[in-house]
Structure 1
Amino acid sequence: MSEQYEAVFAQYDTDGDGQLTVDEVTAAIAGMFPAAEVNDLSGIVKALFVEYDTDQDGLLSVAEFVPLAKNLPELGTGD
């Protein structure tokens, strides 16, 4: 796994437990859009979890996050 994706994952894993919660992913996505553009991120985040939470535990591991990050370069791997 690429170190750059692990670093981005760690940035969003605010409690440091090695998993991204719905709230952590919501905060990450919220940082991508001005508040005026997106009032309710719950539908977007729910869709992301349906697609990327492959073990369906309600959390994203690093392995589940990497494909998401590759498809959403706005998550910050370029900076």
Structure 2
Amino acid sequence: MSADYKAVFARYDTDGDGRLTADEVTSAIAGMFPAAEVNDLSGIVKALFEQYDVDHDGLLTVTEFVPLAENLPELGS
């Protein structure tokens, strides 16, 4: 796993617990689209969790985050 992905993950893991919550992912995506309303992102975040949260625990680990980051390179910018 790339150190770049770990660094991006750590930047979004604001509480440092090693897992991304829906709120942390929403904030990350909102940062990509500053004009977007956070409430408008709930459907997008839900769809991302449905696809990438492979253990369905409602959190993304760094291992689950990597495929998401590979498919959404904007997260790394």
- Asked whether the two chains share a fold, i.e. TM above 0.5, the reply is yes
- List alignment gaps of at least 5 residues for structure 1: none
Q: 1:15 — aligned with what?
A: 15
Q: CA deviation at 1:35?
A: 1.9
Describe how 1:1-79 pairs up with structure 2 within 5 A: 1-36=1-36, 40-76=40-76, 79=77
Q: Are residues 47 and 3 of structure 1, via their aligned partners in 2, closer, same or farther at CA, if it must alter by over 3 Å? A: same
Q: CA deviation at 1:36?
A: 4.5
Q: Deviations over 1:37-73 (max 9, x none)?
A: 7751000000000000000000000000000000000
Q: Counting helix residues as a fraction of each chain, which structure ranks higher?
A: 2
Relative to the length of structure 1, the TM-score reads 0.91
Relative to the length of structure 2, the TM-score reads 0.93
Letter in 2 for 1:65: F
- List alignment gaps of at least 5 residues for structure 2: none
Paired residues, number: 77
After TM superposition, where is structure 1 displaced by more than 4 Å over at least 4 residues in a row? 36-39
Identity between Structure 1 and Structure 2 (%): 81
Letter in 2 for 1:5: Y
Q: Are residues 34 and 53 of structure 1, via their aligned partners in 2, closer, same or farther at CA, if it must alter by over 3 Å? A: same
